[in-house]
Structure 1
Amino acid sequence: MKLLKDILYGCRIVEVKGNTNIAIEQINFDSRKVGKLHCFVAIAGTVSDGHHYIESAIEKGAIAVVCEEFPDQLAEGITYVKVQDSSRALGNMASNFFDNPSEDLRIVGVTGTNGKTTIASLLYELFLQLGYKVGLVSTVENKINRVVKPSTHTTPDAISLQQLLSEMREAGCRFVFMEVSSHAVDQNRVAGITFTGGIFTNISHDHLDYHKTFSNYIAAKKAFFDMLPADAFAISNLDDANGTVMLQNTKARKRYYAVKRPCDYKVKVIENLLTGLQLEINHQEIHCRLIGKFNAYNIAAIYAAALELGQDSLQVLTAISLLGPVAGRFQYIKTPGGITVIIDYAHTPDALENVLKTLNDTRTKTEKIITVIGCGGDRDKTKRPEMAKVATELSDRVVFTSDNPRTENPTAILNDMKAGVEPQHFMKYTVIEDRAEAIKQAIQEANKEDVVLVAGKGHETYQEINGVKHPFDDAEVVKQTLNLLKK
């Protein structure tokens, strides 16, 4: 238990009604989880406004309420604290409640449209190889050293995140590598965290269902770097059109990585094969098992971060050469029949283009590229025709299928995609709504040496339909199909 006055340290308080010298058992922003001696933080969320549930939280045992507006009727014996921003206050309160774990950890946040999971996961593996105890917060999974913790969001809510960081500190972790989504920045889920550094990967159209405009999306990403302290580092992709914009107002020391331009951490692609990349990083050659030119950027970013964290260059390069691909990110399956299947999370036009260009660059032109692709429901509709356009331009055959339709009609999503196909590519595609059947059809169409790309879901082990997550794993469906073809 902690005193409310101590939990509120650092919050921008407007007014207090009641006693803050009271013991709090737990903090909650979900009124359904409130219990005896809890403090309820009322947040105006994207779906509902927590201020509507203050009375319910008190009935369940809350003895303190933090809010932006006091309710019309104040309950007797309850402490009410008005703050400027409830979501920001929640981050600071959660940090205080768990004794500010980020102050004892070296935390590096990774943000951008594509590459967040890969960079955070590779840094986690790299620093384990270097002999450190390490934590990972990612879309795929959270890890405390080698112990896996389930992951439900790219960045957890503020309370869950601070609890996770507290557990990492208890386990002796020295470094933590964390994906930081634009949603998390906008919703102040990372408020109260002291970051040692930040990495920007790239930015392209995504999440416009939430941010509404591309400029809002850029601003959300940039806000992460604006919050970095002066003793932190900020690493950005100089080849991205917004690479310098991201660091314009940061107090942190600025560092840039690139493939195309002179910079602090310059990478040159010497050879790009399906067996891996031969690279030159700041005039030092290295071979790594990761595939594709886009991974040259990811390797540059992790190399830069490792050196900014004080690691030895030669040891870092040696460790990088041993790193393998991240689950669902250009996951490579070579079949006995000579077909290559690639499973990748690419779910934006830019990411899909990167993967398909890599496959086109590494093939000998006699093989076909067959792509299976869908788009998620209840998400940015503007990218659907773009995804279809990229897929049909850069593939020999395309199967449009269902992704996570969520509450939308899958047929309507597929119609949105088909609108992006240019006339000269009409004969290239077919539509099979059932994702398992689509994958099966693509593999059956493939001949020896052909490449089948199954894109969009990557590491996910479910398909979300009308609020229900049904078990579905692209990799498992691929393996089952290949086993059936053997018989």
Structure 2
Amino acid sequence: MAQLKDILYKVSLQSVSGNMETAVAQLAFDSRKVADGTAFVAIKGTQVDGHEYIEKAIEAGAVAIICEHLPENLNESVTYVQVKDSEEALGIMSANFFGNPSEKLHLVAITGTNGKTTCVTLLYQLFRGLGYNTGMLSTVENKINDEVLKATHTTPDAITINELLAQMVSKGCTHCFMEASSHAIVQRRIAGLKFKGAVFTNLSHEHLDYHKTFDEYIRAKKLLFDNLPAGAFALVNYDDKRGPIMLQNTKAWKHKYALKSFADYKAKILSNTLQGLELDIDGHTVWFKLIGDFNAYNLLAVYGTAILLDEEETDVLQELSAVDPARGRFEIVPTKSGITALVDYAHTPDALENVLHTIKEFRTGNEKVITVVGCGGNRDKEKRPVMAKIACDFSDKVVLTSDNPRFEEPDAIIADMQTGVTPANFRKTLVVADRREAIKTAVSLAEPKDIILVAGKGHEDYQEIKGERFPFDDKLILKEMLDLIHSQD
């Protein structure tokens, strides 16, 4: 319980009607979650405008309404606060309500198109290994020390973020590593948080269904760095041409990591195999369990972050060499069939190309690469033909299938993908809309020593169709099909 005036500290107010000393028991921006004593924040969402639910919130027990536009008729028993930006207000209010937990943690945000989950997972494992009580907010899962909490979004809403951070503080955590999606940055879900630092991994074609243009997508990522306080650090991939852009205008200390460019943190790939990576990092030769050039960048980002958090080089590298990859990221599915089977979350053109390029490096030339790939429904349509083209360019056989179709028809999504298949690649492409059957088809096409990649869903254990989530795990189904083939041999 807190007073409304304290929760609104640092929020830019335009007008107030009512008692600012009103006691508030909880915050909500969804009218269905309002109970007695709630401060309801009306947000103009992409689908729904919370201003239309103000009366419903009051009927459910809201004692304060925070909004951008005041209703025509005001209830005398309710306090109304008009703000310029409800989303930003919610972020700041959430931080205040939970006692500003980010100020009591070394909170580091990771942003970029690809690599966020891997970097956050590696940082979490690293700092746990170094002996710290550590929290993690990621696409795969949220963690408070060893307690696992299911994740529903890449970056949770502002109330949930601060509630989780407060739990971390209460359980003795000193560090937290979180993914910061472009949606979350633009929607101000991270407003009110105090970051110790932020990391930029890379930028490629993604989320244009939401941001509309690539420039807007770049600006969304850049906002994280623009808002960093003086004294925080900004660490960017300087081999990515957008890396320097992220550092423009930031008040934070500027740092760079790279494999090719001049940078503060440098690495060289000495060996890259299906067993792992051997890197020279700042003069230290170290072997890691992760695979592929893209993971060399992830490891370097994590190393640089740890050094900027005042950890010792040798301690960091020793612990990093023992950490495991994030679930569903270039994950090898064990099988006795002689087939190399991989599951990866690659759902952007750049990520898919990175994974297939890595597989190409391992090929001896005799084995086939068979790729199963789809694209999500109600998302960026421009990437669909690009994804299909990349799959065909780097594979011997491609099975186009369903991903999370959501409210679109799978056949329509696949038709969009097929426009990227050149005439020369028609014969290597199959269409199997049912994802389970698509994986089964890929396995039936494979022979010992061949490589199967099932891309797009990675760690996800569901398939989203017409508003429902049905159990579906690429890794389990791929293993089931491989075991079935092996039992028939």
Partner of residue 216, structure 1: 216
Partner of residue 407, structure 1: 407
SS of corresponding position for 1:244: helix
Offset at residue 324 of structure 1 (A)? 1.4
Offset at residue 478 of structure 1 (A)? 1.0
Offset at residue 365 of structure 1 (A)? 1.2
SS of corresponding position for 1:385: helix
SS of corresponding position for 1:19: coil
Alignment-mate amino acid for residue 97 of structure 2? F
**Counterparts of 1:282-431 in structure 2 under 5 Å?**
282-431=282-431
Q: Deviations over 1:235-263 (max 9, x none)?
A: 00001110100110111001111111121
Partner of residue 108, structure 1: 108
On the 8 A contact 2:337/2:483 being kept in 1, the answer is: no
Partner of residue 98, structure 1: 98
Offset at residue 426 of structure 1 (A)? 1.2
Alignment-mate amino acid for residue 131 of structure 2? G
SS of corresponding position for 1:215: helix
SS of corresponding position for 2:92: helix
Q: Which runs of 5+ in 2 are unaligned?
A: none
SS of corresponding position for 1:295: helix
**Counterparts of 1:93-242 in structure 2 under 5 Å?**
93-242=93-242
SS of corresponding position for 1:87: helix
Q: Deviations over 1:277-320 (max 9, x none)?
A: 11111121111110001100000000000000000000101111
Question: Is 1:9 matched up with 2:9?
Answer: yes
Offset at residue 129 of structure 1 (A)? 0.6
Alignment-mate amino acid for residue 366 of structure 1? N
Offset at residue 106 of structure 1 (A)? 0.5
Partner of residue 46, structure 2: 46
Offset at residue 384 of structure 1 (A)? 0.1
On the 8 A contact 2:155/2:179 being kept in 1, the answer is: yes
On the 8 A contact 2:337/2:485 being kept in 1, the answer is: no
Alignment-mate amino acid for residue 259 of structure 1? L
Partner of residue 89, structure 1: 89
Q: Distance in 1 between matches of 2:337 and 2:414?
A: 31
Alignment-mate amino acid for residue 466 of structure 1? K
Q: Distance in 1 between matches of 2:33 and 2:190?
A: 21
SS of corresponding position for 1:63: strand
Q: Distance in 1 between matches of 2:190 and 2:231?
A: 18
SS of corresponding position for 1:316: helix
Q: Distance in 2 between matches of 1:247 and 1:466?
A: 41
Offset at residue 486 of structure 1 (A)? 2.8
Q: Distance in 2 between matches of 1:337 and 1:211?
A: 44
TM-score by length of 1: 0.99
Partner of residue 80, structure 1: 80
Q: Deviations over 1:313-365 (max 9, x none)?
A: 00101111111111000001242121010100000000000000000011111
Q: Deviations over 1:67-103 (max 9, x none)?
A: 1111111112111011111110101111111011001
Q: Distance in 2 between matches of 1:298 and 1:452?
A: 24
On the 8 A contact 2:336/2:483 being kept in 1, the answer is: no
Partner of residue 448, structure 2: 448
Q: Distance in 2 between matches of 1:367 and 1:316?
A: 38
Q: Distance in 2 between matches of 1:326 and 1:56?
A: 42
Alignment-mate amino acid for residue 168 of structure 1? M
Q: Percent identity at matched positions? A: 56
Alignment-mate amino acid for residue 252 of structure 1? A
Partner of residue 280, structure 1: 280
Q: Deviations over 1:23-57 (max 9, x none)?
A: 11111110111111111111111111111111111
On the 8 A contact 2:403/2:463 being kept in 1, the answer is: yes
Q: Distance in 2 between matches of 1:337 and 1:384?
A: 32
Q: Deviations over 1:368-422 (max 9, x none)?
A: 1100000000000000000000000001111000000000010000000010011
Alignment-mate amino acid for residue 172 of structure 1? G
Alignment-mate amino acid for residue 55 of structure 2? E
Q: Distance in 2 between matches of 1:77 and 1:427?
A: 71
Q: Distance in 2 between matches of 1:283 and 1:428?
A: 45
Q: Distance in 2 between matches of 1:226 and 1:131?
A: 32
Alignment-mate amino acid for residue 31 of structure 1? S
Alignment-mate amino acid for residue 129 of structure 1? G
Alignment-mate amino acid for residue 431 of structure 2? V
Q: Distance in 2 between matches of 1:158 and 1:430?
A: 43
Alignment-mate amino acid for residue 138 of structure 2? S
Alignment-mate amino acid for residue 215 of structure 1? D
Alignment-mate amino acid for residue 94 of structure 1? S
Question: Is 1:262 matched up with 2:262?
Answer: yes
Q: How many pairs are equivalent?
A: 487
Offset at residue 367 of structure 1 (A)? 1.1
Offset at residue 483 of structure 1 (A)? 2.3
Alignment-mate amino acid for residue 438 of structure 2? A
Q: Distance in 2 between matches of 1:323 and 1:125?
A: 6
Offset at residue 272 of structure 1 (A)? 0.8
Offset at residue 463 of structure 1 (A)? 0.3
Offset at residue 145 of structure 1 (A)? 0.5
Partner of residue 28, structure 1: 28
SS of corresponding position for 1:143: strand
Which is worse superposed, 463-472 or 360-369? 360-369
Q: Distance in 1 between matches of 2:326 and 2:194?
A: 27
Alignment-mate amino acid for residue 482 of structure 2? L
Give the RMSD, CA atoms, in angstroms: 0.7
Alignment-mate amino acid for residue 405 of structure 2? P
SS of corresponding position for 1:460: coil
TM-score by length of 2: 0.99
Alignment-mate amino acid for residue 32 of structure 2? R
Alignment-mate amino acid for residue 353 of structure 1? E
Q: Distance in 1 between matches of 2:256 and 2:368?
A: 37
SS of corresponding position for 1:424: helix
SS of corresponding position for 2:90: helix
SS of corresponding position for 2:341: strand
On the 8 A contact 2:335/2:479 being kept in 1, the answer is: no
